[in-house]
Structure 1
Amino acid sequence: MTENEKIKQVLTSMVEQNRYVFWYDEGGQMKDIATSLDVPGISVLEMEDNAFSIKFQMQKGKQPETGFVIYSAKPMPKDEQNWLLDYQEEGALFSADMSSLYAAECGIAMELKEKVVDKHLAFFKKADNRNKLAAKLSPGMDAAEIEKQMTAVVCKSNATCEAFTYALITEANNEETTMQADLKAYNLEDFYWQQAEAYFGYHAGRNIKDLLIVLFKNDMQSHLTGKAPTHIGKEQALTNEALIFMRDWRDSRTYGDLYTEWANRLEEELGIKEEVCEYNIQQLLNVETFPCIDKIIASYLLTEVINDSITTEQMEAIIEERENKLFFDVARHTLHALLQARYLFADIEQKMSKFTFDTAKEGFSLYERSLYTIDLHYRHYIAETNLAESKQLLSQVTERVERTYTNHYLLELAKKWQPLIDGMDTWKMKGVFSQSVFYTTYVYPFITNKKKVFVIISDALRYETMVELSERIAQMPRMETDLKPAMLSTLPSYTQLGMAALLPHKVLSYEKAADEVFADGISTKGTEARSKVLQKAVAKSKAITAEDFLKTTNAKTAFKDFDLIYIYSNMIDKTGDDKASEGMVFKATEDEMAHILQMIDLIRNGNGCNILITSDHGYLYQNETLDETDFSDFKVMGDTIIQDTRRFVIGRGLEEGDAVKTWRAEDVGLTDSTGISPLQVQTAKGLNRIRIKGAGSRFVHGGSMPQEVVVPVLHVNIKKKQGVSEVSVDILNKKSKITTNTQTISFYQNEPVSEKVKEVTLRFGFYDQADNLLSDSITLTFGSMSEDSTQREQKHRFMFKRQLSELNGQEIYLRKEQQVAGSSQFKKLEDIAYKVSVLFMAEF
């Protein structure tokens, strides 16, 4: 584009925007260009001591569609001598030098040409820069505002110091320097660092990495509580905006990963782990600047747990405080394992010190009511340890967990329990339902009342797991759960017999010299056989595996013709019964619970209302490698051996031994109609394992320990309408005034979360009357199930930006917003007014 074409383009654009454009060309060097300007809708007027006539023409003469260019070959007159001053002030000035052309092209006022265009001429020489800048500028912007927009062009960002900094640290992380080089080349480098100084309070070296180091260390120091070790110098205190920037950066969906990369990098380069190791756990509790903090807290808690110097409540509070922190995941499973170890030790100490029962029924009830939680905490500990970020760190605790669980719980329970079992003539307990009456007790009433019922039978789902599963189900929409009194399993407590017992029947028997149980003469081995047994009692019934059930595409039509559906799931037992995989049985337990939740969801979608969940048997599990003393010297011998495992034997003419209790078939509710030698059952006493070649030894069942024979039953009722509310949250200590640059607010969850009261996620932040955010913003989830009101309170210290000092005497608002379900959006719930009354502006 030639210079003439450039001038024509700029003049045309200026007239379109301003209508009146004045061009003072002292000496008349551009007169030919000006007078030859021929643009439709634009009238060119030459001013030569004829200002009055030009003014008349502009007022009364023929009016061009677009506007006027008033050209003069003389210098611009003084205001008092300028007859056209009113029009000139209404319009715009034009100059034909390159800086002026650039200014005109971008819409920059001529009086700012020297401060902006001349100062940053290299920026304006690039047409792409000019085009992008012109799109960002608005009339009335001053030099600083234009320079901010120029920096935004270079950084390809919004025109804020935060956005510039994000762009520059992204570039630095990628080991690139293009933006930084351009800022320097365009004379904008000083401008950025002045912005950083004003916004962050940063005064050190003009280097992005230096800035980051100061930002990170300032953030860490600001969140430490108590007195720092004397040899660790406190970094220069930056502004609240610097702290808010760091918090927003951590929470950013766009730049969060970038924060993590820099945090890991600087943690290593600055030796942060060695530095903060000298702080105690309370000082570190609120720090989330670096990943190592949660690892260090885990190390501290390890020592506390080993020394029994911390309560479960104290650990819960620490972990709850850390759970919402960015780097919690680097030690999540380690910390939860330690908490479960603390639960386990406390549970055993409390319950086993008062451990007593005089009958098997009392022992059964004690386990159902209380002791099961020990097995639950043990399962959780092992499961978390298997996922732990540092198994080596947990090794000392694991050793104690195994020792305490085995010696102070399992062995003590077995010592008390086994003599009572030895004294039983028949496998019955007064006041406890036998597994064999499951159908008549729980299923048949639905059938007689013409109500469809789904029965989910989870192989080896223990009582403690069902309690947890019940709590999870209760959190699902429209679910109501009722954990029924536990049943006494069949003996031996194993799959073939337990599954048969759950079917409708009058008599259970072994009619072959094989591990096959018959219900009223019909085999119960396999899904197809179980369907036949069901259909004998209920014509419209069906047995199906969980895998096939979950393949159902239309639950509303798939089961509409059935009144009774038995669903068989086998994740736990299948994993535990295999020597190669038995160590993953607790992982399988977690998978099984998720599997059952999927089934329930499918039943709900199919308009089902009633579900019964039960199991065929439980199990014993010890994660450690067993000692030789855990295996009995008993040798399985007899006329006929139908089945022999680590925990039981079924056969005829069995030889007795001290390590087992021998039962007749009728003693354990079985019918023996073969006419040959009597059928017998032997169950291992206490924790004994029978020596069997090739079998796993850590996961066992078939015996009579409570973990094996206390069988759960859960009724799930799916409500047609949702009778569930969200937990309510109040803001405590509502002070009417803001007097400093920080404000601590307490948030109180009014009731525990339960099956009727669901958790809620809320966001809080302070806003001015124009809806500008004045503080950091915090998102909190209120989901505590604790009955202790102190455990349901959360606190946050809000940090205000400097704008607050400009609002002295005015009202601002603490905004409460709720997250919209299934999205990242929030809706406003309420604004709570606070009056700004800052006594010392210097605080900012």
Structure 2
Amino acid sequence: MAITDKVIESLKKEFDEPLRSGEKRKIIFWNDFEKEFIDIIDDIKMPDVEVIKLNENNNFITKYLIEIELDDKNLLVYNTEQIDDERDNWLLDTMIYSREFFADNISLMMKELNIDSSLRKRFVKYKSYFGAISRRNRFLKFEEHIKNEDQLIIGILSSITNAKSIDFEEVVKNIFMESINENDNKFIEEFKKYNVIDEFWNYADLKYGYNQNDKSIKKLFIFILTTALSIDIDNDRLRKIKEYIGNNKPNCKLFINHWMLNRADYEQYDRLTEFYEYETNIADIIDELELEEYKDIELLKCFDRAIIKTIVESLKDRLEDYDLYIDIIKGRRVTHFYEDYKNMYEALINAIGMFKIYKIYGEGLPKGSADKLYNLYVKELYKMDTFYRKFYYYFDKQNTNIMNQVKDLIENLYCNWYLNDICTNFTSSIDDNMKREWLIPNIINQKDFYSTYIKNMVSNGERVFVIISDAFRYEVGVDLGERLNEKVINSTSITSMLSVVPSITKLGMASLLPNKSIVINDNGRVFVDDMDSSGIENRDKILKNEFNNSIAIDYHKIPNNKVDFIEQLKGYKLIYIYHDTIDATADKGATEINTFEATEKAVNEIEDLINRKIVGWIGGANVFVTADHGFIYQRSDLKESDKVNKEAITTIDKNRRCLISKESIENEELLKIKMSWLGNNETIYSYMPKSNIRFKVQGEGSKFVHGGATLQEIIVPVVAFKNIRSNSKKSVKARKVDVKLTNESRKITMNTFKLEFFQTEKIGEKILPTSLELFMVDKDDAIISDIKSIIADSTSERPEERMLKIKLHLKSMTYNKNDEYKLVIKDNETGVIIEEIPFIISLGIASEFDF
């Protein structure tokens, strides 16, 4: 394209733009001070545009033409004279309200880049950067009209650092992402190459207050992070690193907060904080602080380590601020580094749960009748076993020196106090009547499971699924039931049964089948109504003998696709599913250490089987989950006093916790129970060591056991799940709890301000916890504060215990008290904005320094 055509095209674009407010026509001054286009000006022809050539001798007549003779025309005033003293410029007033046009390469480039012509002098300084098409294209991606010097310079810095928008915060972040070692940082090299390095440091001063003489990227990172920390920690406490504390604290805080929350880039931040901790010895500073001073700070991993260390030391010293520790740990769940320490925190939560029970019963667990102890266990004491199990589940995932100290405390508490006392107390409560009848008043016996729960349902034509999980003890069943209820409110009830004794698989599995008699023969085989009950095939026959339209299947042989699953169970009204994950792992010496991991896996497998396959694939409505027996497990090695010698008698069956024999003997260390209560077993006896004692047996595998008569072994769950369809009258739709801002004032007068929220109801069956994200935005919805999260999950009846407090920090900028700003409350799970609350921001002069 010829140069004349290019110029005409550019001019046409100028004249085609809409009129500004108050304009009736277009007047454009074409300033060609170098007289590059003086030879072609006469060739410039455009419809509806008059061309006037201005020179040093026709200023007055030009003004006359513009203001009077051609006052209704669009005008192009071609000017080659540059007037240095504005007092000599007859057309100054006209130039002010008119537009300006340049047609040299720089002007055309500025036009292309949408940079205002008033920035010409500044643009010339950086024109070398825009020499390459690739760099111009990178700049054009911002799609912004560059109206001022800040936009131009930050735009260049943003373009060099591959920022997504013209944003100095992103410039600094991208530099840190590249490298804090300047010799390895390509962006810093380009800043120097294109003459913007001084500008970068000037903006670092302006935005973050960084004005040290010996500047470096490494020191800038330390400076911003230290200044951010100084908002939450008394500055005198940071005196050892006070040289890195600046005045623009809000912007430093927001910079770190936004970087931490950036899902794409936070990992580099995490790595750099390790460098920071090493360079500043911040851990030594934290050691001098009280827990209350840093319990809410999330900027560094060392705060999490310090919190964990303090709680562990408090547990060791038996300081009983248990609720405080739990609140602190729950508060950490919304902090940046929580996932790095999640297993340690969750292990501590469960350890604290154990200590809270000890605080209640430390002087001795209750003694009394078997029914009293049974009911106390299913109501409350089972939690001790849950806490112990979950402690080790998380401990095994993050085994550290500090957590090993907790492990020693937990083992002492569980094995030497709880397990010993509860097992001894219960086995001592088993009186002659219970030994003879093996029953507890108002408690369903395992051998009555089918007649109590299943028979009437299948007789009435209902389809029923029974999942029998080997060693799925009561407390694990409670865990499963609670999870199912979280999924479908009121879908699941959790009760218990008294299992058979000895609590071994062959007897437990037989008892769960329909039965009139259960007999053990001399070879230790168990017969149900004269039918061998060993193995799934035999159990299938026993089921069909009672109810023909039934089937027994192995969980591990269930198809993993919907079509085959439906086909396998097609037509059956009663389905027994045999599941074996816990016992298969734990009942082997080499793998018993994985008992609690296997337990968690079992819960997940059964939950998936119910929700995804039984309900999701075939619309199953009635599901029962139970077990053949429970178990005892302890992590520490057994002492010699935890074992007794086996009796030299002929046995029908035996394991580490029981003997079955036709011989009648008396031994004070053993419980002796006649098996006649179970069926036609008048001459058969079971012998079990009292408490949690094991028989001495050679070989591995003594920590996980079952077969005895402790509560952990003989209480099995009955988890009854009822699929409540959404159109059912019984269907209850759970909803997330409401959270309301309680601050009466909607006016912010300080850069740092506190907000208080109220969880309107306690968490329960119909009310679910909620996780919310909170931040401030301006009228253009740009975020102007840090972003904080809260979790409303309190189960307390007391309103004061359902209060939630956060502290927000505003960006350091000019706020207009006449503008409307908003607090945004967003659901963390769905990303949906729950509420936008208007605020007025009116900051005092000293507000930036009030921390």
> Common fold, TM-score beyond 0.5?
yes
3-state DSSP of counterpart to 1:797: strand
Q: Distance in 2 between matches of 1:377 and 1:328?
A: 20
Structure 2 match to 1:269: 279
1:690 matches 2:702: no
Structure 1 match to 2:436: 425
1:632 matches 2:644: yes
3-state DSSP of counterpart to 1:682: strand
3-state DSSP of counterpart to 2:756: strand
Structure 1 match to 2:671: 661
Which one of 252, 258, 282 corresponds to residue 268 of structure 2? 258
Aligned-pair distance for 1:409?
2.1
Structure 1 match to 2:481: 470
Q: Kindly tell me the number of residue pairs found equivalent between the two proteins.
A: 821
Alignment of 1:211-610 (within 5 A): 211-224=220-233, 228=237, 233=242, 235-351=245-361, 353=363, 355-390=365-400, 392-421=401-430, 423=432, 424-484=435-495, 486-511=496-521, 513-549=522-558, 551-554=560-563, 559=569, 561-601=571-611, 602-605=613-616, 606-610=618-622
Alignment of 1:32-51 (within 5 A): 32=39
Aligned-pair distance for 1:577?
0.6
Structure 2 match to 1:759: 769
Q: Distance in 2 between matches of 1:188 and 1:7?
A: 35
Q: Distance in 1 between matches of 2:818 and 2:63?
A: 54
Aligned-pair distance for 1:397?
2.9
3-state DSSP of counterpart to 2:328: helix
Question: Alpha carbon RMSD of aligned pairs, Å?
Answer: 3.5
* 1:644-698 CA-partner distances (Å, limit 9, x unpaired): 210112243476644333433314x13249xxxx433222222221122335100
> What letter is aligned with 2:262?
S
Distance 1:18 1:577, change over 3 A: same
Structure 2 match to 1:773: 783
Aligned-pair distance for 1:327?
1.3
Which one of 186, 211, 225 corresponds to residue 178 of structure 1? 186
Aligned-pair distance for 1:87?
9.2
Distance 1:352 1:466, change over 3 A: farther
> What letter is aligned with 1:464?
E
Gaps of 5+ in 2: 17-26
* Higher alpha-carbon deviation: 179-188 or 493-502: 179-188
Aligned-pair distance for 1:159?
0.7
1:142 matches 2:148: yes
Distance 1:400 1:780, change over 3 A: closer
Structure 1 match to 2:816: 807
* Higher alpha-carbon deviation: 495-504 or 276-285: 276-285
Aligned-pair distance for 1:706?
1.2
* 1:369-415 CA-partner distances (Å, limit 9, x unpaired): 2322222222222222222341x223333223222222222222333
Structure 2 match to 1:167: 174
Structure 2 match to 1:12: 9
Do the aligned partners of 1:635 and 1:690 also contact (CA within 8 Å) in 2?
Answer: no
Do the aligned partners of 1:729 and 1:748 also contact (CA within 8 Å) in 2?
Answer: yes
3-state DSSP of counterpart to 2:758: strand
Alignment of 1:666-745 (within 5 A): 666-667=676-677, 669-672=678-681, 678-721=683-726, 722-723=731-732, 724-745=734-755
Aligned-pair distance for 1:295?
1.1
Q: TM-score, normalised by structure 1?
A: 0.89
3-state DSSP of counterpart to 2:184: coil
Q: Distance in 2 between matches of 1:14 and 1:137?
A: 21
* 1:215-234 CA-partner distances (Å, limit 9, x unpaired): 11122232236962765648
Structure 1 match to 2:120: 113
3-state DSSP of counterpart to 1:121: coil
Q: Distance in 1 between matches of 2:62 and 2:403?
A: 96
Distance 1:221 1:427, change over 3 A: same
Distance 1:56 1:312, change over 3 A: same
Distance 1:17 1:30, change over 3 A: closer
Distance 1:108 1:159, change over 3 A: closer
Do the aligned partners of 1:428 and 1:434 also contact (CA within 8 Å) in 2?
Answer: yes
Aligned-pair distance for 1:169?
1.1
Aligned-pair distance for 1:260?
0.8
Q: Distance in 1 between matches of 2:236 and 2:309?
A: 21
Q: Distance in 1 between matches of 2:365 and 2:669?
A: 24
> What letter is aligned with 1:213?
I
Q: Distance in 2 between matches of 1:729 and 1:29?
A: 69
> What letter is aligned with 2:749?
T
Aligned-pair distance for 1:351?
2.7
Distance 1:820 1:686, change over 3 A: closer
Q: Distance in 2 between matches of 1:374 and 1:343?
A: 8
3-state DSSP of counterpart to 1:273: helix
Structure 2 match to 1:785: 795
Gaps of 5+ in 1: none
Structure 1 match to 2:21: none
Aligned-pair distance for 1:430?
3.0
Do the aligned partners of 2:752 and 2:807 also contact (CA within 8 Å) in 1?
Answer: yes
3-state DSSP of counterpart to 2:527: strand
Distance 1:752 1:225, change over 3 A: farther
Do the aligned partners of 1:684 and 1:703 also contact (CA within 8 Å) in 2?
Answer: yes
> What letter is aligned with 2:633?
Y
Aligned-pair distance for 1:454?
1.3
Q: Work out the percentage of aligned pairs sharing the same amino acid.
A: 25
